[in-house]
Structure 1
Amino acid sequence: MNYIIKPGKNLAAVSDTVKAENHKHWMLQLFLSCAGNLDINVEGKEISCKCIVVDMAARHEFKTGEKVHFTILMEPTTETARQIRRDFLENKPYFILPGETADRLQKQINGILGTMNKDNLLGFIDGVYEIFHTGKSLPDFDVRIYELLKLLEACKYDQGKYNLRYFSDKLSLSPSRLAHLFKEQTGIPLKSYMVLNKLLRAYTVLFEGSNITQAAMAAGFDTPAHLARTNRDMTGMSASGILKDSEFLKVFF
């Protein structure tokens, strides 16, 4: 069974059915085994640990093997993701959480598994974020990047507007200058981030009870097959596989 929740811009799940082929995506991902160690391959290296954070764009392969695991996919422009990249990953493809911290997280998540109470799970996720908040301030993005992020979040995914030219005109920059500035500030190619943004929008629509076809149209994908292909490329799993036997724990903000 998959329990999936979307706290803000991020995605989290408790599952015993994950089978993700070798892939990479533009989100950070934390994996936590609910008992013992998990086995994961990151950039060709086999790793056994209790809890690990994999950097965006790092190739990885993971299978739950019918053991229950918890995972968070973190949108890369969020404060938590940025702090992890700067203060913990430090340009490395992964960071393994220390044993004492991992033990505490395992104990906490196991206290939630019996009921899968939404509020308790959200509280646990907030506690995970707190581990990475070092108190060291992050540099501000260029104001035009903040404006771009607002435009992307508010965009209705109309094909005439959801393109680089539209956003660059809105910000009075050339497309190449905007793309360069975004990559410089975030470390992410702008076109890749725009695809990620659409995929997260599709997940939001699915959370609202729509089917894959409706989610594809709402998020600006050409066809449901386009959404399914993008999802597999970025998660290593089929959309139907993610939805099968899944329960969506809705969160309202």
Structure 2
Amino acid sequence: MTNNEGASRSGLPWEDRDYRAIIAAIGEGANDIDEVARYTGRTTSSIMSKWRRLLPIEQRTAPRDRVIPLLRGHLEDPNYDWQLATITDPPPPPIVRPPAKTGLPGLELEDLEDIGFAVGLSAVVMPDVLRERLGVEIVTRNLQHRIRDRRVEQLLTSPGSVISVAAAEAEANTWISRVYASVSRYAGALRPYRSEWDYGHSVREYDEPWTTAHALGNGAVEVVEPVDEYRSAIGDEPQF
């Protein structure tokens, strides 16, 4: 019988007699696994696997050429319980849970966006260090575009004043870069404006202003072509 071919017990469940046969081979001084395979009717791969199984857990990953000497040393000890070794499994790997994020990194994305926008609009003085930390977290999570776009929406839809998309976008770019220095320092160029409607429906960007610019001089906003009228004009779904 040749190695791994026609092994008469290949694929059958291992029984005590199979273990005793490969243990006896070790006791008789066997060092040639091919010979043990021919003798036991098992494949060399299964024999090596079971020899490793007979070792203590901490030695089962030993190099192949060390398996037989290690096992022979244990089997020479009359108190070595090889049957216990065959049913002993290593402990499961520890479950590693990353520490829970706290502070600004622990905020949900939507909460961080809301806070970032509110702080930008607030007249309350915030310590520079805290504002810088908030700005860095905003840039880290790539929220600077959404916060800037909310400012554009606010300028376009505030009652009593009219402004073009381009003018609102320019003002909002200046606003967020002024409020959060980290945006201009780390974020690079802000991409073209998207409306809040676009965020919920599609990735559509407006190329032309959809309001008429009339400077009233008092900061009020009067939308000549209202948002709802614009949306009605293009329908419920974005047009490409």
TM class by shorter-chain length? Answer: under 0.3
Give TM-score, length-normalised by structure 1. Answer: 0.21
User: Greater share of strand residues, 1 or 2?
Assistant: 1
TM-score, structure 2 normalization: 0.22
Tell me: higher relative CO, structure 1 or 2? Use CA pairs within 8 A at least 6 residues apart: 1
